[in-house]
């Protein structure tokens, strides 16, 4: 990577695993869980957050020296809200069905804690290029978890991936269904998202003992 120094690469790769915004920093759970019943919705949500966090970080970082610290929360919220309106309008124009599925959760990107968290912790203290990379890295880390959860929930819940049947046809009893496999409708319900994330955390911390907390 000629473009990125070693430090810059770390900014992107760190949040993917050892400093993941969802499983380690516990940020941005709010919107992450409700929309993961389908893989497609998870991917769109990840891309939206990538856009908002990447550019939001740059804008805040450019303005960091002129924002009075007392009203910075309101300034940050306004910047995010403006970016989210762009995402929302684009989705409504080009993917109306999907924007109905995501309903209020696109709007809730505004109060996604990852965004405020990165603004506060990183963009207010670093230059625009670094902030941009940090934003990309963190939203990728967020996206990875979303996509894993969406993958398992859609696969086990409705036997499809991105809407394509991958396990055969449940009505005509082909593929896996011919030997008695059934979809687990429970995976589509919201509580399972929590349990799947819980299991991801479990697996991650079993592999990396340094992350284990004592209660």
Partner 1 sequence: MEHLELFLKSIFIDNMVFATFLGMCSYLAVSKKVSTAVGLGAAVIFVLAITVPLNWLLDQYLLQPGALKWLGAEYADYDLSFLSFIMFIATIATMVQLVEIVVEKFSPSLYNSLGIFLPLIAVNCAILGGSLFMQSREIPSLGLATTYGVGSGIGWFLAILAIAAIREKIRYSNVPPALRGLGITFIITGLMAIGFMSFGGMLTGGDDEAPKEAKTAKVEASKAELENNKEIANNIKVTE
Provide the binding-site residues for partner 1, judged by CB under 8 A: 23, 26-34, 73-74, 77-78, 81-82, 84-85, 88-89, 103-104, 107-108, 110-113, 116, 189-195, 197-199, 201-202, 205-206, 209, 212-215
- CB of residue 92 vs partner 1: minimum separation in angstroms? 9
Report, in Å, the least distance between residue 213 CB and partner 1: 4
By beta-carbon proximity to partner 1, the closer residue of 6 and 209 is 209
Q: Which is nearer to partner 1, 178 or 190 (CB)?
A: 190
Give the number of C-alpha atoms closer than 13 A to the C-alpha of residue 151, restricted to the C-beta side. Answer: 7
Pairing verdict, β 160-161 and 164-165: antiparallel
Smaller CB distance to partner 1: residue 23 or 42? 23
Provide the minimum distance between the beta carbon of 155 and partner 1 in the complex, in angstroms, as a whole number: 19
* Smallest separation, CB 94 to partner 1 (Å): 15
CB closer to partner 1 out of 121 and 176? 121
Q: Shortest approach of partner 1 to residue 197 CB, angstroms?
A: 5
């Amino acid at each position: 990577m000629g473009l990125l120094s070693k430090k810059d690469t770390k900014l992107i790769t760190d949040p993917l695993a050892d400093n993941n915004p969802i499983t380690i920093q516990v940020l941005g759970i709010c919107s992450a869980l409700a929309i993961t019943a389908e893989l497609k919705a998870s991917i769109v949500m990840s891309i939206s957050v990538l856009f908002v966090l990447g550019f939001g970080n740059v804008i805040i970082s450019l303005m960091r020296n002129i924002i009075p610290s007392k009203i910075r929360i309101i300034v940050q919220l306004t910047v995010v809200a403006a970016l989210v309106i762009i995402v929302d309008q684009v989705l409504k124009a080009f993917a109306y069905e999907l924007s109905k599925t995501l309903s209020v959760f696109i709007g809730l990107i505004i109060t996604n804690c990852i965004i405020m968290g990165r603004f506060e912790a990183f963009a207010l203290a670093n230059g625009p290029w670094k902030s941009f990379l940090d934003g990309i890295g963190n939203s990728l880390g967020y996206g990875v978890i979303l996509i894993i959860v969406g993958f398992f929930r859609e696969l086990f819940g409705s036997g499809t991936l991105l809407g394509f049947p991958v396990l055969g046809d449940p009505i005509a009893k082909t593929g896996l269904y011919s030997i008695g496999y059934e979809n687990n409708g429970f995976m589509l319900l919201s509580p399972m998202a929590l349990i799947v994330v819980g299991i991801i955390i479990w697996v991650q911390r079993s592999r990396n003992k340094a992350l284990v907390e004592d209660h």
